[in-house]
Structure 1
């Protein structure tokens, strides 16, 4: 099964590719536990150190996850979200046939006189803010951590007590929509950051491990800020997707064609088009 010739690839690389092929072929599915390191070493006739190095390779590639005391598991398929759509974590997960859930880690009220960081600074200093810390799961695998700030008066209006938010099937956007405060528009920025010490245990990664941080500022239809969130994702488990075009407007319909703002797939192109028109008028 393994090539032990002098010109062959290192044994750990061959083991990694063998396991990767078995995962891709469906022999091991998302969430399945892999054989133990000693068991694989015996089965393949290699040292345990070789298996450890092979697992290290697969972990870096995002194919497996290690859970202390439980074993090594096949990682779930990365969640994929379009950059042109304002949707919730739960909606994205369900659209990809996953099961979303969360665990509430913290529920904190920050008063108008309390110290604030830059995330909470998005709200007026005179407004009380409620901050939620939540681990986000897909098929019971932790893929992200959300630190979400909401105006305290909105939290009260929506009945978002700590017990309500702690429910496993809680969806923030559903709760906001129920009181007529559905996020209508948002600004997002993405960057790579080292995993903060405060959340590395929740995501089963080491302190300083690379994460993708997404900051979203969401407004309601009246243009009022109703949510500020820093979302930290394990890069191998969550993907952002966007479609680009060098033709902002359908050429067949001409430059006067108006893009329907409710067509989310065209929204990014519509924004670009309007910017071009404004620049042309100023010129």
Structure 2
């Protein structure tokens, strides 16, 4: 069994675990399918390192030769400027430039992308946009010009659309005391109202709706994807996920859905680990060059 991954902190938001063994071409445990070389984990809003570490540990067991790049998100990201987000995520972008610039989105790529919740979606959108805007120094050819050169993308508990109730639950999820929680909801409701009014004035959909649409647009790679979700998720409606998956499928994307029965938000792996990780492996193994 591979040793647990050591997450090295590159910045406040970015962490990296180097491969347990050399990152030469390899195979997944017990199979003949080329394993990922780089796994990008985009965590949910407010996720603690110790929680993300559990996913990294399983990935290390499945794919010991893969480097694991983790990007955290927090509540401020949804209210931050593009410049602030760029500074926050640039260490991840720089590492992707260094290690994934030889990849092309599709079955030959060595990049697996795993997105958690809407917070993780916002992170990946910004990273994808930064890669599309980047260029190789001294070379007129765009670097990763089509965005993340992924072979597969996993959506865990996302993407969801904007509702007042879900937004309040998301931003107060870690608050236990009612004496803190309800005043927070009051303040957040006012902010939410102003943001929705501003969107209305500018004649544009809410942030989460635009974010959801982004992943079914030509701006994001149309590679095989897996949706892991549940109708008992209190933060993201299962109907939002299923609608997104249906739209992707209609656009010609290879889509797989794994609907869990009674699992909370971003807790599907904890409740049903065998089923969860089996679906992850099946997606990767089924997406390679035929």
Q: TM-score, normalised by structure 1?
A: 0.24
Higher relative helix content: 2
Larger radius of gyration: 1
Higher relative strand content: 1
